[in-house]
Chain A
Amino acid sequence: MHNAILHFFDYINAIVLVYFLVTNVVYTVLMVFSLYSVTMHSKSAQHGAYADLLESPVTPPVALIVPAHNEEEAIVQTVMSLLEIQFPEKEVIVVDDGSTDGTVERLVNQFHLLRMDLIYRQVAPCKPVFAFYFNPERPDLIVISKENGGKADALNAGINLARSPYFCTVDADSIIEPQALLRLMAPVVESSVNTIVSGGVVRIANGCTLRNGRIVDVNLPKSWLERCQVVEYIRTFLFGRPGWNFLNATFICSGAFCLLHRETVLEAGGFSTDTVTEDIDIIATLHRFCKKNHRKYRMVFTTDPICWTEAPHSVGMLARQRRRWQLGLMQTVMKHNDMIFSPRYGLMGLLSMPFHAYVEAIGCTIEAFGTFIIPFTFLVGAMPFSLFIMLMFLAFGYGTLLSVGSVLLEETTLRRYPKVRDVFYLVLFAMIENIGYRQMVTMFRAQGVIQYFTGLKKWELVVHKGVEGRMLVEDEI
């Protein structure tokens, strides 16, 4: 019996070890690719003629679609920032997804909108639309009021009304940098192949100063939780995604700020409501649709277009957010599981999908399990010291290398944190977030996986303090 238990622990430890090895090897490879592509992009940006793009009549129009549900605190600031965005031709479509607060009233009062009965043709499926609000003197803004149906449903309503060939999804609590949309559009204009997705970087706005819908002073947030999230976002957006993009196997583009080709999305059936992360699902759906129909297409991820968003400020909210992301990831990989290891989908099917399914989606349970089982097996004498050290090193030590590396990449390319003190804290938190924070997030993710297997489908609401409330007003600057 004793031997059987020891053997069981051996197997478990071997699985955890293999998981850590695979994860770290893949991350290292991605790090190399990212380092190359981000550095090259940063150098190319020296000759990025965004002013030409702004003046060119050839630049395609874009519809900025903002799904909003009970966002009365932030919606006016967000819309103002979107209307200020530098772009030759844009339409801002706010989709009020059955809000029970004063989201619509705020917009109507601020922009002097009038209720109208406009033509609406439902191509992508969505819940019934109640009303349209429009101001003939401000023709670049439309508000749609509809029955609550979730973010994907709201996006579908938005793309049904949009007239531009491209649309950009924007979260209602996000602030977009003035040149960000131009930078997102640049690879689309420059590509000789139809670019159906162009994703950008999302940054954490906590601690920054906002004035008239723009971030005017970039600072690190004060709390350790938010600082750890800043490091995590930098690592994700500068290492993970550019790496997969380099391999032309993008699987995730943040829905907070992502440009998509309207016609292709409509042909693929629009956003799906059967997952809680419609942004991940649409990417997989588009890959599938284009490959099946032998379309030549491209998805790009650019590291300099910046969208600022508010991160959860408490452990409880962070837990909700991460559980939802993990649940959505699980739903997406399971929905598209026929793509896994399918050569028909190229590197997407052979590398990206398996990695996201087995390492990112399910793997977190192994990591979470390992966090408990490894110290336990070592303490009961079922694991040699050397193996224990090896696993600890893989779990903690190597992670710091990736995190500090991403801060280095940020510092050498984007340099969004001008203060030396902030950079020092970034490096410090890059080292310490691997001890404690990462394990905590892994637990939340594992809960998300459990939720999936227990059949939970609900959207866990993350309540923010609100962009206006968290940032200094003009007088305080």
Chain B
Amino acid sequence: MLFIEDLASLVLWLLATVLSVNLLFLLFIFYRRLARKRYYEDKDSARSRYTRVVSEFVDNEISVDRAVALLQEASSRAEHDAVQEMLLAQEDANNAERISQVFFGLGYVDEWARQAFGRRRAKALLERSMKREKAAISTTVPRTLLTPVRRMRMFAVPRSVALEALGRLAPDYAQVFVAEALHDPASEVRRIAIAAMGRNRHPAAIPLLFDELLKAVEMNNDVSLRSTKSALVCYTMEDLFHFVPYMTHPNRRMRFFVVDTVREIANKAARHMLLNKNDFPQELYDAFLENAVRDEFADVRARAGAVIKHFRDKRAVQALRTLLSDENDFVRLHSVRACQDRYYAELVPDMIRRLSDTRWRVREAAVKALAAFGASGSNELYRYFVATKDQYVSEQITEEIQRSGLTADIVAALAHGGEDRDLAMAVAKKMVLMGKSSLLTSAAAGLTQPEPRILLMDALMLAPTEQFLAVLETIGQTDDGPVGDKARSLLQAAEQRALAAAGRT
């Protein structure tokens, strides 16, 4: 019984402990609420206090030294954060250097560097950063006894946060820190460094990023390939010169990623302006037309087409023509996609040939590419569609006709007359016979012009669906004109056909 009583008291103690812990949790929750409220109040008041100083500094009305002297008063964490956020929000390419100098002056950089690299290394790095030195090329991660500990997220996260702040400095100042961070054992820290390199687009970072990319390609990097590629894609057309040496890298996957990165950069630039060969460095232009199109790795050739299309000259046409008839289907696929540009109209016959490619994805891409050429391309497409006996090609063309809204053009052509009408009618008939009549049925139901409506009804009658018969019935009941007459006669014909079919069975 004594034992039982002891156990009971133990349980009561445990219960009391749980309740106390719950109470402690509760107190902590409300303490957090209060602390956060106070933090944001401090931050708001710091914001209102320093807004004028920051705007005067950004407008070049006060010097760096003066700004440092005025902002030095911000001492608490909330005030630090407010000043940092306000300055970073105003940062652009013109004032990045001055803002960085303020951060140096206020001692923020020193603090971040100590958090990211430790006191000893921070001092040397700070000096090198102020001298705007470039970083060493080697990015090998040194192994020490502390490496496993430093890899732990508990210790890596504060370093990452500090490095994120350092990475926001002007590129010349930030480069030393982010390059040094590539020696960090934690992948999270290195990922932040790589992302910062991409944002800053410092030319000195390109070899480091390619080094990281190579490690990722060789499966030796715990920072993902995508993260490194994302950083490289941030570079602009002006930086492409630095990519040239990597175009002939012995590792074929590395060459592929280089070509693909150039493709992304060029595509990004092409969204704002029409590119031509003069926008690319001559060495890169030559490397693509002489090496990449003949690369032994098909993926390189495939991606090369998407860059070459931006060159827009005779050599580019020739190169794309070669790629369009490449032995590898992946290359043909990407080449067809690359030719979706009116400049390459002379390649239309080559693309027509790709409509009968052995791979469906190439055929699909060819259909899309031809549709992108406007009326001339789509008419070629229709002619091929009407003539071909290949079921898969036909299906892909109907898919594109429907998805890209070409059906509206077909219906419009039915109203015009002439050669276009005949072609449109032939397309509509083939679509109906293939059982792809839903969209045409909707068009027949919605049209107001009698002539194309009657033509569409004739086409749809080749293989009437329940949906179409319902439409006919509605038209027959609501329309008293020639369209209604046509609908009623077609319905009658359908009924006779059904009766004849029933009689046969």
A residues near B, CB below 8 A? 36-37, 40, 43-44, 46-47, 49, 52-53, 56-59, 114-119, 131, 134, 136-137, 139, 189-192, 384-387, 389-390, 393, 397-398, 400-401, 404-405, 407-408, 411-412, 420, 423, 427, 431
CA distance A393 to B28 in the complex (A): 24
Given A57-B264, A118-B402, A404-B22, A44-B188 contact (CB < 8 Å): yes
Q: Does B267 contact A (CB under 8 A)?
A: yes
Q: In the complex the two chains form, is B224's CB within 8 Å of A47's CB?
A: no
A13 to chain B minimum Cβ distance, whole angstroms, is 14
Interface residues of B in 387-446 (CB under 8 A from A): 395-396, 398-399, 402-405, 435-439, 441-442
- Give me 19 other A-B pairs in contact (C-beta within 8 A), A189-B226, A389-B11 excluded: A43-B157, A43-B161, A57-B264, A57-B268, A58-B226, A58-B233, A116-B403, A189-B224, A189-B227, A385-B4, A386-B5, A397-B15, A398-B18, A400-B22, A407-B25, A407-B29, A420-B33, A423-B29, A423-B33
CA distance A131 to B398 in the complex (A): 15
Given A57-B264, A117-B435, A405-B216 contact (CB < 8 Å): no
Q: Is the contact region of chain A dominated by helix, strand, or loop, or is it mixed?
A: helix
User: In the assembled complex, which residues on chain A have CB atoms less than 8 Å from the CB atom of B223?
Assistant: 190, 192
B431 to chain A minimum Cβ distance, whole angstroms, is 8
Chain A minimum-CB-distance residue to B33: A420
Given A52-B199, A190-B227, A389-B8, A401-B160 contact (CB < 8 Å): no
CA distance A134 to B395 in the complex (A): 17
Partner of A119, one of B12, B29, B187, B399: B399
B414 to chain A minimum Cβ distance, whole angstroms, is 18
Q: In the complex the two chains form, is B21's CB within 8 Å of A190's CB?
A: no
Partner of A404, one of B26, B435, B436: B26
Q: Is the contact region of chain B dominated by helix, strand, or loop, or is it mixed?
A: helix
Q: In the complex the two chains form, is B26's CB within 8 Å of A427's CB?
A: yes
User: In the assembled complex, which residues on chain A have CB atoms less than 8 Å from the CB atom of B268?
Assistant: 57
Q: In the complex the two chains form, is A189's CB within 8 Å of B230's CB?
A: yes
B462 to chain A minimum Cβ distance, whole angstroms, is 15
CA distance A58 to B219 in the complex (A): 19
CA distance A470 to B408 in the complex (A): 41
User: In the assembled complex, which residues on chain B have CB atoms less than 8 Å from the CB atom of A427?
Assistant: 25-26, 29
Q: In the complex the two chains form, is A49's CB within 8 Å of B195's CB?
A: yes
User: In the assembled complex, which residues on chain B have CB atoms less than 8 Å from the CB atom of A189?
Assistant: 224, 226-227, 230
Q: In the complex the two chains form, is A117's CB within 8 Å of B8's CB?
A: no
Q: How large is the interface on B (under 10, 10 to 19, 20 to 34, 35 or more residues)?
A: 35 or more
Q: Does B269 contact A (CB under 8 A)?
A: no
User: In the assembled complex, which residues on chain B have CB atoms less than 8 Å from the CB atom of A58?
Assistant: 226, 229-230, 233, 264
User: In the assembled complex, which residues on chain B have CB atoms less than 8 Å from the CB atom of A420?
Assistant: 30, 33
B438 to chain A minimum Cβ distance, whole angstroms, is 4
Q: Does B7 contact A (CB under 8 A)?
A: yes
User: In the assembled complex, which residues on chain A have CB atoms less than 8 Å from the CB atom of B160?
Assistant: 44, 47
B34 to chain A minimum Cβ distance, whole angstroms, is 10
Q: Could you name 20 residue pairs across A and B whose Cβ atoms are closer than 8 Å?
A: A37-B153, A44-B160, A46-B161, A52-B199, A56-B230, A58-B230, A59-B230, A115-B438, A115-B467, A118-B399, A190-B224, A191-B224, A384-B4, A385-B8, A390-B7, A393-B14, A397-B18, A397-B19, A408-B28, A420-B30
Q: Does B131 contact A (CB under 8 A)?
A: no
CA distance A36 to B441 in the complex (A): 60
User: In the assembled complex, which residues on chain A have CB atoms less than 8 Å from the CB atom of B442?
Assistant: 114-115
Partner of A386, one of B7, B161, B267: B7
User: In the assembled complex, which residues on chain A have CB atoms less than 8 Å from the CB atom of B219?
Assistant: 192
Q: Does B192 contact A (CB under 8 A)?
A: yes
CA distance A36 to B156 in the complex (A): 13
Q: Does B380 contact A (CB under 8 A)?
A: no
Q: In the complex the two chains form, is B404's CB within 8 Å of A401's CB?
A: no
B467 to chain A minimum Cβ distance, whole angstroms, is 8
Q: Does B225 contact A (CB under 8 A)?
A: yes
CA distance A257 to B476 in the complex (A): 48
Q: In the complex the two chains form, is A397's CB within 8 Å of B438's CB?
A: no
Partner of B230, one of A52, A118, A131, A134: A52
In the A-B complex, the 10 residue pairs with the smallest Cβ-Cβ separation, listed nearest first, are A136-B405, A386-B7, A47-B164, A117-B436, A115-B438, A386-B4, A389-B11, A40-B153, A116-B402, A192-B224
Q: Does B154 contact A (CB under 8 A)?
A: yes
User: In the assembled complex, which residues on chain B have CB atoms less than 8 Å from the CB atom of A411?
Assistant: 29, 32-33
Q: Does B222 contact A (CB under 8 A)?
A: yes
